[in-house]
Structure 1
Amino acid sequence: MTITSERGGIAGALREWRERRGVSQLDLAVRAGTTQRHVSFIESGRSTPGRTMVIRLAESLEMPLRERNVLLLAAGYAPAYPEARLDAPELEPVRTALEGVLRGHHPYPAVIVDRHGDLVSANDAFWMLTEGVASHLLAPPVNIPRLLLDPQGMAPRIINLDVWAWHVIDHIRQEAARNPDDRLETLVNDLMRLVPDRPRQPGPDHLGFAVPLRLRFGDGELRLLTTLTHFGTAVDVTVAELRMEAFLPADATTASALAELGQPVPGGAPRKRHQDP
Structure 2
Amino acid sequence: MRQWRKRRGLSQLELAIGADVSSRHLSFIETGRSTPSRAMVLRLAAALEIPRREQNQLLVAAGLAPEYTERALDDPEMAAVRDGVERVLAAYEPFPCLAVDRTWRIVRANTSAGVLLGGVAPDLLEQPNALRIALHPDGLAPRIRNLGQWRHHLLERLRREVAVSGDALLAELLAELEGYPGGSWVEDELGGVVVPLELLSDEGVVLSLLSTVTTFGTALDLTAAELSIEAFLPADTGTAEALSLRAGR
Name the TM-score class by shorter chain: over 0.9
How many positions carry a matched residue from both structures?
A: 248
The answer to whether the 8 Å contact 1:65/1:236 transfers is no
Secondary structure of the residue that 1:215 maps to in structure 2?
A: strand
Alignment partner of 1:174 is 2:149: no
Shift of 1:91: 0.8
Q: Which amino acid aligns with 1:16?
A: Q
CA distance 1:98–1:204, change in 2 (3 Å)? closer
The answer to whether the 8 Å contact 1:228/1:244 transfers is yes
- From 222, 229, 239, give the equivalent of 1:244: 229
The answer to whether the 8 Å contact 2:141/2:182 transfers is no
The answer to whether the 8 Å contact 2:99/2:228 transfers is yes
Query: Which residue number in structure 2 is paired with residue 163 of structure 1?
Result: 149
RMSD of Structure 2 on Structure 1 (CA): 1.6
- From 74, 88, 98, give the equivalent of 1:87: 74
Q: In the aligned structure 1, how far is the partner of 2:17 from the partner of 2:188?
A: 45
Q: In the aligned structure 2, how far is the partner of 1:134 from the partner of 1:125?
A: 18
Shift of 1:225: 1.0
Alignment partner of 1:220 is 2:192: no
Query: Which residue number in structure 1 is paired with residue 11 of structure 2?
Result: 24
The answer to whether the 8 Å contact 1:114/1:241 transfers is yes
Query: Which residue number in structure 1 is paired with residue 33 of structure 2?
Result: 46
CA distance 1:48–1:22, change in 2 (3 Å)? same
Q: Deviations over 1:85-142 (max 9, x none)?
A: 1111111100000100000011111100011110110011111332222111111x21
The answer to whether the 8 Å contact 1:112/1:120 transfers is yes
Shift of 1:41: 2.4
Secondary structure of the residue that 1:77 maps to in structure 2?
A: coil
Q: In the aligned structure 2, how far is the partner of 1:225 from the partner of 1:65?
A: 29
Shift of 1:23: 3.0
Unaligned regions of 5+ residues in structure 1, if any?
Answer: 1-13, 264-270, 272-277
Q: In the aligned structure 2, how far is the partner of 1:94 from the partner of 1:178?
A: 25
Shift of 1:204: 4.5
Secondary structure of the residue that 1:43 maps to in structure 2?
A: helix
Deviates more, 1:92-101 or 1:216-225: 216-225
Q: Deviations over 1:216-271 (max 9, x none)?
A: 112321001112221111111111111111111111211222222222xxxxxxx4
Q: Which amino acid aligns with 1:227?
A: T
- From 175, 189, 195, give the equivalent of 1:211: 195
Q: In the aligned structure 2, how far is the partner of 1:209 from the partner of 1:69?
A: 37
Q: In the aligned structure 2, how far is the partner of 1:211 from the partner of 1:57?
A: 36
The answer to whether the 8 Å contact 1:227/1:247 transfers is yes
Instruction: State the TM-score, normalizing by the size of structure 1.
Output: 0.84
Secondary structure of the residue that 1:262 maps to in structure 2?
A: helix
Q: In the aligned structure 1, how far is the partner of 2:169 from the partner of 2:96?
A: 26
Secondary structure of the residue that 1:223 maps to in structure 2?
A: strand
Query: Which residue number in structure 2 is paired with residue 258 of structure 1?
Result: 243
Aligned-pair identity (%): 48
- From 93, 101, 107, give the equivalent of 2:94: 107
Query: Which residue number in structure 2 is paired with residue 189 of structure 1?
Result: 175
The answer to whether the 8 Å contact 1:165/1:195 transfers is no
Instruction: State the TM-score, normalizing by the size of structure 2.
Output: 0.93
Q: In the aligned structure 2, how far is the partner of 1:214 from the partner of 1:112?
A: 21
Query: Which residue number in structure 2 is paired with residue 11 of structure 1?
Result: none
Secondary structure of the residue that 1:108 maps to in structure 2?
A: coil
Alignment partner of 1:71 is 2:58: yes
Q: Which amino acid aligns with 1:142?
A: P
Shift of 1:22: 2.3
Secondary structure of the residue that 1:203 maps to in structure 2?
A: coil
